[in-house]
Structure 1
Amino acid sequence: MPADADQMRTLGGIARLLGVDGKTISQYRGAIEARVPEREQRGSRTLYRVRAVIEALNEIRRGPGVAVDPEQDRRKRSSGRTTGTE
């Protein structure tokens, strides 16, 4: 957990803090908003508590390359990779 985990930041700011691409976090925006009640609206920006987003991501993400909903995602299923021609 980062030292400044109680700060409020945008999802992009949290991604930069963690050293990952912004899409790594923003793709889970809907799930994060459902799990993180601590957020502030500042104009067009939404700020989230860093600690809460990290905890939500740990609940949401099952590991690298595993789809949240394998039935809707053809990239990887529990039985192995698909060819994309299904």
Structure 2
Amino acid sequence: MSGECHISSLVVHSRSDRVQAIIEGIRSLEGAEVHGGADTGKLIVTLETDTEGQVVERINTIQLLDGVLAATLVFHHFEPVQERE
């Protein structure tokens, strides 16, 4: 059986008074990590998902967080993954 592995990165621009709440909201999403930018309100985020649809879903969820001004996809890569028998 085979699947896919999708790796994406985003820059999430946020209101300075909502940064911590936004970070918590992002971290609550499966496969999402925040790697920095809290001091400037421009968060560096990576997503690791199984499908392209999940990438879109996570970006939409992030965009709807209170205080998010923009969530911009910077990089997306996917490749097939072979499961071990």
TM range (shorter): under 0.3
TM-score, normalised with respect to structure 2: 0.27
Q: Which has the higher contact order (CA 8 A, sep 6+)?
A: 2
Which has the larger strand fraction?
A: 2
TM-score, normalised with respect to structure 1: 0.26
